[in-house]
Structure 1
Amino acid sequence: MRLHRLEVSAFGPYAGREVVDFDALGADGLFLLHGDTGAGKTTLLDAVAFALFGKVPGARADAKRFRCDVAERGTSTEVTLELTVQGHRFRIVRNPEYERPKLRGDGTTKQQAKASLTWLDDPPSGQPPEGVTRIDEVARTVERLLGMTGDQFFQVVLLPQGEFARFLRAETKEREELLEKLFGTQRFFEAEKWFSERRQSKRRELNERRQSVREWLARIGQVAGEEPPDDGAADWVADVRGRVAAAVAEAKAAADESATARERTAAELDARRSEADRLRRVRNAHESLAELAKEADLRAEWKAELAAARRASAVTGLAAEADRQRTRLTRALEQDERARETLAARGRGDGRVGSELDGGEPDVAALRTRAGEVREDAGALAGLVEEAQQQVRDRKRLQQLGEIAEHATAQAAALGEKLAGLPEHTRQLRTELDAAAEAAVRLDAVRTREAELARVLGEAERVPTLEQEAAGAREAEQAAIDAHQSAREALLDLRARRLAGMAGELAGELQDGEPCAVCGSEDHPAPAAGGDGVGEAEERAATEAEQAAEQRRSRAATARHEADTALAAVVERLQDRTAGQVRTELDEVRHELATLTESAVRKDRLEELVRADEAEYEDLTARRTSAEREAAAAEEQRRALAEQVERQERRLDEAAGEFDDVAARRAHLTELADALDGLADVRTELRAARERVDEHAAAAAQAARTAEFADVEEALAAARDQQRIAELDQSLADAQQAEATARAVLAEPELADVEPDRVVDVESARQAAEQARERAEQDVAALQKHTERGRELDTLAGELDAVLRELAPAEEEFAELDALTDVVNGRGQNARRMSLRSYVLAARLEEVAVAATARLRSMSHGRYSFVHSDAPGSHGKSGGLGLDVLDDYSGMVRSAKTLSGGESFLASLSLALGLADVVAAETGGALLDTLFVDEGFGTLDGETLDVVMDVLDDLRAGGRVVGLVSHVEELRQRIPTRLRVRKARTGSSVRVEGGLDGDIGVAWS
């Protein structure tokens, strides 16, 4: 990477547009940015960082204020940087977000951030030739070309003030955080996390398998009615199954015995029941014959009654028919009387009808002739009746047309009134709709803000709990540290005591004539006395106790670190806000959200109302026009119909005569004709009824004589209905059948020797059979219970065996994974107590120490070298990131914190340059041709400064361009090409050419 040109406008302290030509400044490979303290030298480096990554290094990134406070109103804040990376030259232009004055009126408005990248030659493969304009795309393109992130760039290219002095003196945790940013060890962290998550997953699976074993044992215990033991589950299951099998065998023997007894008692019961049934049949037969003998006279009476009823059946039908004919004759006489009265009433006013009725029995032919004449007169009036009916409808129509015209006129007036107020109502609805639409647009943003504040409030409310957990974790860690120290002191004390008594221990093993294990002599003239009794077993127990205490200490330290990290993360996200402040802000946002929601909810309803108002306006307009047309048409029809009704009225009055109307006259004529026809029909039926009565009475008298009865009345007295005849027949037949059945029973051979007076004891046999049956059923139920229990135990035992077979390899697999996870995370058998990520960082730090030592020895005249240590930290802290210095003058390794100010600068600069080389090689990034050093050269004496300049000359000789940022005056004499930054009251822009001094004025308010 090589910088060519930098332009800043209204950026930081620079009020105007300033230009830095790095090609001219770096022509000799080394240049100086010189100026007074606070003159804005570091701001130029910030401008380079902002152009590349959109942020600046160090604490200045938190302020996020890039615009110059005294810049002109129309001057925009902008940074432009031209550079070449991997052979591609391009220009980056960035504008930060800032508040600028409004173009019209008072106040300010937010100027949005912008960025663009333009290729000045052929773009890389896959890049658009027109460049990119999205902020995120610009950042990704720069990171892809440089091969490093912004944090790595700030440590490798822009060596900031004091950063590496802090890194040199930092604790392990702080040094680890920086190295993680530079070397990207996230993948190793993911590996640690994967192992931990894998162990948790396997632990859950193993616990599930163990729980499954416990559940199967519990189910077996439930079936067996026993509590399963904690140990020896397999033996217990085998014992239970054996006892259940024995119980099954006993139950089967008992069931077989009770079944035999049941069969024997059942056979005895069947024999006695058979004997009792034979005795019952004989007794019933004798009793039936006795009853039949008593009823012999009654059966003779039944036979006589049945014979008379059957002879009378031929007379009853004819007598009934004669009665029916007499009834019809009576009804015909009554109908004749009513017909004469009806005709008299209908013919009152008709002279011909009156004369026929006065003459006695009217002639049927004359009645029908007169009926025909009357019907002809009624038919002549049929057409006029229809006209009269139409006349009634026309009068109703006249009234309806008047009402229609009146109603349509009133409706048109009412619709006009409604139309007058509708536009104003529509305008009001549209105003409310616009407000609801605006609320709906703002709703998503406010909801997002409300969710974010709710999450922050939840975290704020957790702060006291997290603080208590952190305090508890620190106390637990301290307790674990104390316990570990005590265990270690006890171990060291035992070892010292054993070493002190080692001579006595060895002397106790000497045997006469055998060589000494120490000197080899077979003579033992003066063996040492025995020690205080401390042996290898005591030392091994103390060692194991110390290791266990160390593991507890390590776990406590991890828990404390996790608790502190969780608390720090929450506090950082709160941004100095209390829970009350967050709750107040959340309440305000929720109130705003409720207001917006209430308004936005009405949007759809308001849209419907607006559409309804518009549709109603169109509908009312159309309805008013229709009502006006309807009123005019109805009035026109009413006038024409009134003239027609008047003409028709005169014709109908003439045809009605003395009746109310034509229909009444026609109805009278029709009724008169019907009355004449009715009387003629009745006279005809009356004559036929008299003839049928005489005929059926003669037939009934002849039938009675034939059946040997004196008259019809005697025959009817002997007659019986069919139900009585059937009952008599059935009674006689039943008696005959009962007698035959009883005699047949007594004639059966198997009943010949049965005496009716014998007694058979069935009850005792039944009780014995019932008791045997109950006992057999109980034994069968017991057998089924034990058999089912055995089958269930066999099934459960098989399932338990399968689970146990799967549990053993799962436990072995988890033990292996558990041990490996502890090693990866710096615990267990990991003697260095270094996690995988710490191990990788330690290896990178060792490379940095080697690269930095070469420059530090040169700058310190061979006195100092960096020493990397991977030993565990104090008090159980993780190790691997120790960094001290070896002082060749004393031959001792010293802490970097003991270096003087100048020595610290040399060590920090060496460390920064070494780290830059290692990071560049590690990331595989582009060749870094440009390097800025913003460090305290003022702490160096003249001789040391010469040595530092020699090292920087070596960098320049290697092809790099090195820019120094310092206010030290002596550097101005050593570096001919420089850029001076001065304070000024007004901004002036001066272009700096290579080889010449140039000033950049900085405006100060």
Structure 2
Amino acid sequence: MRLHRLEMSAFGPFRDHQVVDFNELSGDGLFLLHGDTGAGKTTVLDAIVFALYGEVPGARNQAKALRCDTAEPTTPTRVSLELSVQGHRLRVERNPEYERPKKSGQGSTTEKAKATLTWLNEPPSGEVREGITRPAEVRPTIERLLGIDAKQFCHVALLPQGDFARFLRADAKERGDLLERLFGTRRFSAVEKWFRDTRYERGRELEQRRGEADRLLARLAQVVGAEPPEEDRATWLEGVEKSFSLESERARQELDRLRRQREQADDALAKQRELADRVERVRAARSELDELAAESERHEAARAELEAARRATSVVEVGRTVDRAAAALRDAEAELREAGQACSDVDTESAEDPEQLRALAVSYRERAAVLESLESAAEQQRGDRERITELDERIAADEATDAELAEQLGQLPAAVERARAEVNEAEQAPERLEAVRGNREELEAALRAARELPAAETRSVEARDRERRAVDDHQGARAELQRIRELRLAGMAAELAAELEEGTACPVCGGTRHPEPAEPHERTVGAEEERLARERETELQRWRDEQRGLAEEAERECARLREQVGERTEQWLRAELDRVTSERDRLSELVAQRETRAAQLAELETSSERLGERRSELAERIAAARSSRDALAEQVREREQRLSESRGEFDTVTARRQHLVERAERVDRLAAAKGDHDRALARESEQRAELARTAADNGFETPEQALDARREQRRVQELEEWLAEVDRREAAARATLRELAEVSAETEVDVAAAAEAADRAREAAQQAGNTVADLDRRVDEITELGRQLRDSWKELEPVEAEFAELDALTDVINGQGQNARRMTLRSYVLAARLEEVAEAATQRLGHMSDGRYSFVHSDEQGPHGKRGGLDLRVVDDYSGRTRSTKTLSGGETFLASLALALGLADVVSAEAGGAMLDTLFIDEGFGTLDGDTLDLVMDALDELRAGGRVVGLVSHVDELRQRIPVRLRVRKSRGGSSLAIES
């Protein structure tokens, strides 16, 4: 993975739009990210992590405060990152969720989080070419490409050396926690926990089963009443079942004998009770007859009272009729008084009888009928007056409309001229728009060229500098090759002499004796050195030609750009492009409005005719309304004179007619009241005569005597029921004496003795039955408990065997029991990962320490029997001894932790199967290092970038600014932090 470009706005302390060009920073392989405390150095790293994974490292992610507090409400919070992964270039853009003011109205609204992924070249196989627009799919795609999640990325791409220094000195538990997060081995901890939880659950299940068996055995012992033996409990159970079965059979036989005795005693008791009951009935009948004979006079008086009350009943009914007639007479007298008072304003002295009063009422109604014919005229009068008001309002509204139409008609000529000018302008717009578009395209190309020209000129100068250096290097190599050839020629005799052997012909003179072979001198060179020098000269010649081609290409590019720009400046081109763009937009809008403007002109031209026609229609309508209004007003005046004479002193004709109708109704009521009173008086006299006749017919001298003999219905009912009860009691007593004529009232019966004997027999049988029931219950319970206990013992046996195996395996997995090294499964897996990390870190630490230090992993147990497997130590080549990492000095600790971090990054990347991380950030307090240690660190970083990686150091140490020429400076201010590249 290599980073190319980072953009952010309204993110953290950065209020305005900021851009980081990592391609420019990566030219030397090493750059410094520095700035004041709180300026936002860490925010740059947060932005990278947020763009990739949608979160920021550590506790800052919990704050959920990514938006800049001083940002403008209209500026969105946005992060964009361009990067290359496995040969695929892509851009990731994210917007976090934040609150912003509403565009209209008061209050705020929530801006939802968004994320997109765009492929800038061919996407990987299986990915959509258009990219990803759903936020939920962006993060999984990034994790799939990189092969690591957010936490792993923060540990392998953003190297906080303090964390790895702590990791270097940590104990086994702390080291295991970090390794578990990085390598995702929580599943092995889950396996350990699963075994522990399963053992606990199975153990609890086993104890439950054992407890259930123990409870069954205890319950059985409670039922039996004896404690079971410790051994051979099955035999004991079988003996208990047989013993209780025999005892239950003996008890059942005794119960049958006692039940037969109880039945005999119950029969004897029933006979004694029956005889006693018959004697008692005879005695009660004789006593009842004696009591009735003593009250015979009272019975006769009651019978006489009942007979007189029955005769008075018909007289009482007639008396009620007399009472009702008297009440009706009183009501008629009251109604007559009220009707007379209601007619106090009517002259009724000349009309004494009802018929005369009814004739007077008829005369009132006839006068009211005459006025009813005029009511429709009064209603018409009200409608005509409302119609006059309506016509006045309509005339006023039409006159106002006519004035408005006249004003509109006067404004139309000017509006038509303006619309005609706008139509002409829109008709000419297409031709002008074509010319403006061509001019804009030329300006855009020139502006792009003006923007690219400075960079192209810089590349040209750099290319020429590289060409000059390549020429110098090549000329130096050529001179070196010439010098080596001259030295070799000068030492050629010595080279040939070195191959001479005594007795072998000389390749130059042919002699076999070599009395004075040439001796080599200090500057003698061989064929190998000449070959290497020749190869270097050839390589530099190729490099020189390549740089010349690049320089010429850069010059041609600059010439092309200068030709496009001409004498124009970038500022002038930008302003002119803005002006031409505005003109293009205006003309495009005119082209789009051609039909609309033509339609508007046609509409204006036809409006005048329509307005004239409407004014003519209004004039005719106003004249007609005025004519109708005048005619209607004349009719109202004539009708008003007639109605005034008819209503007299009343407000309306209807009021006067209603007054006459009400008088007729009151007179009718008075006539009816007089007739009702006369009839009620006659009825009351007739009913009193009928009452006297009815009393005499029923044997009473006067009606008052009959009324005295009357009784309430409740009293009559009581007398009838009492006399009927007396007759019933006498009849029942005499029937009982006839039925039991053979029984003497003096007979004595001993029921108590028979009952006592029956109770004794019943109690003995009941006790025997309880004994049998108890024994049956105990036998059934013993049988059921025995069955359950045998089933429990049978089910318990394989469970105990399975738990023993699970218990031993759980101990081994959790570093106990037969596990000699006391390593848990998680520790065993992490120990293997730690061993890989130690090997990878050793390769880097060896280079950094000049071969002195290397890491070694140990799986020995800790002190006092602590679990082992995650111990990390260093081997010192100077002493040949292994020692603790805690004994390293400050500088050595830094080198070791840096090597460990890089080694861990390599292993995590390889483990996850992801992409190589070509861009790394090291965030560390370099200010705590002395000069020598800092030199070692810089040498180590040179080794790191030599492998092709780009390393960014995050620090504010001044000395690093002197050592690292390429820097990314973070400045803070009240208006928000900003970023700038320095070199």
Scaled to the shorter chain, the TM-score interval is: 0.3 to 0.5
- TM-score, normalised to structure 1, is 0.46
- TM-score, normalised to structure 2, is 0.47
